[in-house]
Amino acid sequence: MRILCLLIPHFPASLERRDEPGLDGQPVVIAQEGKVLDCSPEALDQGVREGMKVGRAERLCPEAVVRTAHIARYEGAFERVIEVLAGVSPVVEAGKWGEAYTDISGQTSGFDDEVILCQQVGRKLKQEVGLTGMMGVAGNKFTSYVAAWIIRQGRALLLRPGTEREFLAPLPLELLPLSEEMIKELRLLGIRSMGQFARLPAGAVLDRFGPQGRRIHQLAQGRDERPLLPYQRPPVVEATRQFEPPLGMNEILVRAGGKLAHTCCQRLRKRGLSCQEVHLTLSFEDGSSHSAQQTLSGPTADRLLVEASARELLTRLSCADRVTEARLVLGGLQAQEGKQLTLGVITRPAKVDLVRLVRPLAARFGADSFYGGRVLDSSSPLAELRFAWQPWVEEREKVDSSVE
């Protein structure tokens, strides 16, 4: 089996840079609901991490350009990436955004052919998506991923069949999907590279780390039995209406939009689904077409909500041309879930101001009686290196001043 892995690191940030070339070289942070969804390598160097609050990211990297996430745009672009790979081989597996695998065994007649194929994929990716990626070709998924991960952007690393174990041997343990605890434990045993880990007896690894550890041990040995899981396009519900003669932007078209929403919602209900995205495409008399989309605040199968969304999209697309066809697509489908009703409003307890509570006590009994704990290094055998106690009042004042 020969697997090609395509990696486009920081996919959302790369897309923002593609659409706004002025952002090149600047740290970019993509925010969603107040948290960091993704960031560029420059922001990563400054300590910004995924899942961090945007305020904290801005404090860590004041020069970062913050952009709001456009999930539908990223998904659309990633689907185009999948299509590029699907042009090479029918079996394509999609990982997270910017990570995809395809099985190219049987598509090429030798190593040289694989090189040409990678060049073709790179060119097509640049033409159709406007991005460059990193590619790795190896005998299994994990090794191809590592090969793609260590190579420079826009390059491909191809391994000859049977060389997976030798290739992985000098690489650091951190590239394996090991937990932090396991890495610390292995470091304590003096194991730092995948080759050292691979040389351990299988039984000993199984005894110490269990079946999960054994699976990772096999990965380090260049063995990955996982098959590719073919990508399936997310299901959608759609309805189309053609207008003969073509219609101008008027009340009839708005009513037609409402009817399309009604039809789609009926189909949704029949399948027990709800939707979160509404796409509307209008085709015009001159052959051109325009589309717009809206993401709803939550999954719904409510006809009125979808109708209102369709109407808003129609007004967004309104122009002087006459419309020949309207197509409404509902995406982001998920199973309808019942909501547990409650008799009372669930309230969280009011936050106690511990500093205000402790200050008079500290004045009475001494500040050296009140502490806050902090974990330093969980794996250390010495208690004083594992955690530290910090005077509570001093620590809180430090936190308060940093917030200010």
Partner 1 sequence: MNRRQYRKLDFVVASLQRRFGPRAIYRYEQPSTPTLLPHIPTGFGELDQALGIGGIPQGQITELLGPATSGKVTLAPKVIAQAQRAGHQAAWVDLGWMLDADYLHRCQVNLKELLVVRPHNGQEALAIAASLAAGELGVLVFDEVTSLKGQNLSPVFLEGALAQIHHRLAHSPCAMIFLTTTYFGPPGDAANYPPGFSLDHYTALRLALKREKWIRQHGDVRGYQAIVTVLKNRWAPPAGPVQIEITFDGTVRGNGL
Residues that bind partner 1 (CB under 8 A): 179, 181, 207-208, 348-352, 354, 357-358, 361, 365-366, 368-375, 378, 383, 386-389, 392
* DSSP secondary structure letter of residue 23: G
Q: Based on the number of CB atoms within 10 Å of its own CB, is 127 exposed (0-12), middle (13-18) or buried (19 or more)?
A: exposed
Looking up tokens 């004045």 gives 363
- Provide the β-strand partners of residue 323: 247, 284
CB of 205 to partner 1, least distance (A): 11
287 versus 373: smaller Cβ distance to partner 1: 373
111 versus 389: smaller Cβ distance to partner 1: 389
CB of 366 to partner 1, least distance (A): 8
CB of 393 to partner 1, least distance (A): 11
Relative to beta strand 334-335, strand 323-331 is unpaired
Looking up tokens 């990211």 gives 57
106 versus 373: smaller Cβ distance to partner 1: 373
CB of 197 to partner 1, least distance (A): 19
Which strands sit side by side in the sheet containing 35-39, from one edge to the other?
35-39, 28-32, 65-68
CB of 360 to partner 1, least distance (A): 8
Please answer whether residues 93 and 101 qualify as being in contact, where contact means their C-beta atoms are separated by less than 8 angstroms. Answer: yes
173 versus 273: smaller Cβ distance to partner 1: 173
Q: Based on the number of CB atoms within 10 Å of its own CB, is 274 exposed (0-12), middle (13-18) or buried (19 or more)?
A: buried
Relative to beta strand 134-138, strand 3-7 is antiparallel
* DSSP secondary structure letter of residue 368: G
19 versus 377: smaller Cβ distance to partner 1: 377
255 versus 374: smaller Cβ distance to partner 1: 374
Taking the C-alpha atoms of residue 318 and residue 126, their distance in angstroms, rounded to an integer, is: 33
CB of 202 to partner 1, least distance (A): 14
